[in-house]
Amino acid sequence: MATSPTPVSEAPTPQASQAVVLTPQASKKVREIMATQDPVPAGLRIGVVGGGCSGFQYSMSFENQAGMMDKVLQFDGIKVFVDATSAMYLNGCVVDYVETLEAAGFKFENPNVKSTCGCGSSFNV
């Protein structure tokens, strides 16, 4: 007897223990960028910093090691470092890489965001 297939969502859903999730497209792009660095970094830091029109901005940078209070997550062989404070604001956030005719870049889908600024580069929780 045949059963109907279960629908599969495009973006992975974060597990309770993960502050943030990288989609396969984001992981691929991070891996491409990391390969161009010399020396190759140990991982990617994703965080939240104060600033922007609405109070907070996302930050992404390469790191050579995790900090003492960092959560270390793994996505397709990429280590992602998230500090404890940022983890509170990023809980359930999905990071994707999107290419359109107009622009290309990393997109944050954060369920904790209450509002964003007009230009879309900062947010409020």
Lookup: tokens for 6: 């279960």
Q: Is the pLDDT of residue 32 over 50?
A: yes
- The domain segmentation of the chain, as residue ranges, is 20-116
Q: pTM higher than 0.75 for the full model? A: yes
Query: What is the tens place of the pLDDT at every residue in 93-122?
Result: 999 999 999 889 999 998 888 766 655 565
Q: Which fold has domain 20-116?
A: Hypothetical Protein Aq_1857; Chain: A; (2.60.300)
Cα of 1 vs its chain's centroid, Å: 41
Cα of 111 vs its chain's centroid, Å: 13
Query: What is the tens place of the pLDDT at every residue in 35-86?
Result: 999 999 999 999 998 877 767 888 999 999 999 999 999 999 999 999 999 9
Lookup: tokens for 59: 């930050």
How much is the pLDDT for 5?
Answer: 44
Nearest Cα to Cα of residue 40 among 92, 78, 1, 76? 78
